[in-house]
Structure 1
Amino acid sequence: MEDDFEKLEKALVKIEPSEAEEETSNNYETLYKNWGKIEYQEERRKKLLKIQKSNRSNKIDRFRGILNFNSVEDKEIFMDKKVSYTPNIYVAGFHKTCKTYSNILMLSEWMIEKPTDFSENWYVVPCPKGMRLLAVADFGTTKFYTKLGKFKFECLTGLPGGNPYNYNNGKNCCILDCIYNENTNTVYLLDIISWNKRLITDGETEFRQYWMEIQLENFPETKTINEKNKILIKILPMIPCTNHFLSHLLSTYPQFENNSPPLDGLMFYHKNACYISGETPLVGWLYPYMVPEVLGKDIDVHPKYMDQMPDGYVNQADFIQNLKKNYKN
């Protein structure tokens, strides 16, 4: 069991982009992509699922721990936008207590091949252009952090603990994985990490999505701009990866009303994946124009999406290699 767990730890290799790179990037090319791990995806997926299952009830427990928020908040420490306030949080896949909110998000690899269990065990999420952020609602406000843990902004939200009206003396709080689009003043929810001090990270994809949808129904203030909620909060749809559903999704243009925000790309989740920090082959990424090449030409893709193919595009492998070169330079 110890050997299996060490294999899992080695598999969860993290990429540490600089703060400057993150600040200037407003898309998924540095926020989501795994630049190097493109070989043997199918084999690594199977190993990770096997190790994840065998460790769920024993060895990996040491990383779950207890979600512990500070009992007192110093409201002044955020005036200079430094990350001083943090909860002591253990999440499956973490290696130590997080002193900042750095490298908590679960990130995707390029999907370079169609998984053998694609139609049975995968879901797709249409992702709008925006910034990937960690939303932390507690102490009567909601704070948003980048992938590297840098504090971006805060505002009142209708999330539990996200405004003074539903703080409930520290009993309400949540941590969510989201995409923020400034133009639409909207937070699009991808995933859930914790809810009211209960970690959801060891739940599989289907459970986490169900939990998030059910819980958000009890907070209708998140759907409108009002005194308690200053930013719209929407859950992104999670759709089965059958040819029928994929064709319906990708033949629809625009994906979001008035193409605001525009569709950036597609995030694919294995339905049995737990939430872990860092890149994982159990979450994949494609631009829409890559779908026929990787997933099959029998999936209908709207011409507008195919028109987004960059000039000089040869194939996905060439595209990734060029990105790797630009990233290193």
Structure 2
Amino acid sequence: MAPHDLRRPFKRPAISDQQRRRELSLQRQAQNRRDAQQHARCLASTLIYLQSPHPESTSEPQVEVEDEVELETEPDPEALASEIDIRQASKLRGSQARKWFARQLMLPEWMIDVPDQLAQDWYVFARPAGKRCFVVSTNGTTVSRLRNGSRLHHFPSALPNGARNRDASGSAQSYSILDCIFHESDHTYYVVDMVCWRGYSLYECTAEFRFFWLNSKLSETGACDPPSQYHRYRFSLVPVYNCDQLGLSAAYSGEAPYVKDGLLFYNK
């Protein structure tokens, strides 16, 4: 019998495991954004209700309405715990800081199949070769931590509240967290994502908004300027492209000021 006669028909499943996990992750992020918006609407409506004049009454129907409003404004315990973790992260020390930061970085995985709507729904950029890390600026200092949570550098920077100088502005309690790759050959932190900025969390924001915020805010601080007394390491943005034919070609073969180490894809 010929070898080809022994072959059995094989049909690839309609949706791969990676595609299914990708869709579940996107659905979870969208649900978290909807929950945050709903909580904000409930809070706003409650404030308006409390500030509006209404006649005093002891009738039971009005008491029930007030109880319902109070129940709607109770914060989600998980969201509150997450916000507390973010707010206190910059104050952690030792093993607690290492454990917290080791759980925060979003680790990429190999793209084994092409997602649907790749050109419309995805960004692509060339990953700089170097050490992946978090950079946190708060209380007049800046600290970078590796994927395992250990400290890489402790230095002053031009990031918000990242150095103790007379030109520092903003609240002493504000903090910023950037997702970076440290490129050792030119001693530069290449920023690939923004997690928090001046105390405002971007955890549940879309990549499209985070990249826009990153490009508009980072240059305003002077963090992209050459090193100086109060700015030991230079920060730089990574060129991000739409994931179409031109964008893929530019990310793969275009010139870059750093050594490339593959491509990274971000869902918008």
TM-score normalised over the length of structure 1: 0.58
> 1:168 Cα deviation (Å)?
4.2
SS at match of 1:126: strand
Counterpart in the other structure of 2:22 = 45
Counterpart in the other structure of 1:68 = 87
Counterpart in the other structure of 2:259 = 262
> 1:238 Cα deviation (Å)?
1.5
Counterpart in the other structure of 1:30 = none
Residue correspondences, number = 209
1:161 corresponds to 2:161: yes
Counterpart in the other structure of 1:188 = 190
Provide, for residues 150-180 of structure 1, a one-character-per-residue CA deviation record: whole Å limited to 9, x for no partner: 1122111110111112264514420110000
Counterpart in the other structure of 2:246 = 244
AA partner of residue 259 (structure 2): P
Counterpart in the other structure of 2:7 = none
Closer, same or farther in 2 for the Cα pair 1:206/1:172, shift >3 Å? Answer: same
In structure 2, C-alpha distance between the alignment counterparts of 1:135 and 1:187, rounded to whole Å: 9
After TM superposition, list the pairs within 5 Å mapping 1:135-214 onto structure 2.
135-165=135-165, 166=168, 168-214=170-216
After the TM superposition, which parts of structure 1 deviate over 6 Å for at least 4 consecutive aligned residues?
A: none
In structure 1, C-alpha distance between the alignment counterparts of 2:121 and 2:89, rounded to whole Å: 39
SS at match of 1:248: helix
Counterpart in the other structure of 2:134 = 134
Identical-pair percentage = 28
SS at match of 2:133: strand
Q: Write 1 or 2 for the structure with the bigger share of helix.
A: 2
AA partner of residue 110 (structure 1): W
The question of whether the paired residues in 2 share the 8 Å contact of 1:221 and 1:228 is answered with no
Provide, for residues 241-286 of structure 1, a one-character-per-residue CA deviation record: whole Å limited to 9, x for no partner: 001221233232xx323xxx31111110011xxxxxxxxxxxxxxx
Greater C-alpha radius of gyration? 2
In structure 2, C-alpha distance between the alignment counterparts of 1:122 and 1:251, rounded to whole Å: 18
In structure 2, C-alpha distance between the alignment counterparts of 1:191 and 1:269, rounded to whole Å: 10
AA partner of residue 131 (structure 2): M
After TM superposition, list the pairs within 5 Å mapping 1:1-329 onto structure 2.
40-58=17-35, 61-62=79-80, 64-66=82-84, 67-69=86-88, 82-83=94-95, 86=97, 100-165=100-165, 166=168, 168-252=170-254, 255-257=255-257, 261-271=258-268
AA partner of residue 40 (structure 1): D
AA partner of residue 151 (structure 1): R
In structure 1, C-alpha distance between the alignment counterparts of 2:263 and 2:249, rounded to whole Å: 13
Please give the root-mean-square deviation of Cα atoms over the aligned residues, in Å. 2.5
The question of whether the paired residues in 1 share the 8 Å contact of 2:124 and 2:251 is answered with no
The question of whether the paired residues in 1 share the 8 Å contact of 2:124 and 2:243 is answered with yes
The question of whether the paired residues in 2 share the 8 Å contact of 1:159 and 1:222 is answered with no
In structure 2, C-alpha distance between the alignment counterparts of 1:56 and 1:249, rounded to whole Å: 30
In structure 2, C-alpha distance between the alignment counterparts of 1:171 and 1:63, rounded to whole Å: 18
> 1:50 Cα deviation (Å)?
2.1
SS at match of 1:160: coil
SS at match of 1:110: coil
SS at match of 1:106: coil
The question of whether the paired residues in 2 share the 8 Å contact of 1:157 and 1:222 is answered with no
SS at match of 1:65: helix
The question of whether the paired residues in 2 share the 8 Å contact of 1:138 and 1:167 is answered with no
SS at match of 2:185: coil
Counterpart in the other structure of 2:50 = none
In structure 1, C-alpha distance between the alignment counterparts of 2:183 and 2:169, rounded to whole Å: 25
AA partner of residue 140 (structure 1): G
The question of whether the paired residues in 2 share the 8 Å contact of 1:193 and 1:199 is answered with yes
AA partner of residue 265 (structure 2): F
> 1:63 Cα deviation (Å)?
5.4
Provide, for residues 117-152 of structure 1, a one-character-per-residue CA deviation record: whole Å limited to 9, x for no partner: 100000012111100001011121111111111112
In structure 2, C-alpha distance between the alignment counterparts of 1:132 and 1:156, rounded to whole Å: 19
Closer, same or farther in 2 for the Cα pair 1:106/1:155, shift >3 Å? Answer: same
The question of whether the paired residues in 1 share the 8 Å contact of 2:161 and 2:174 is answered with yes
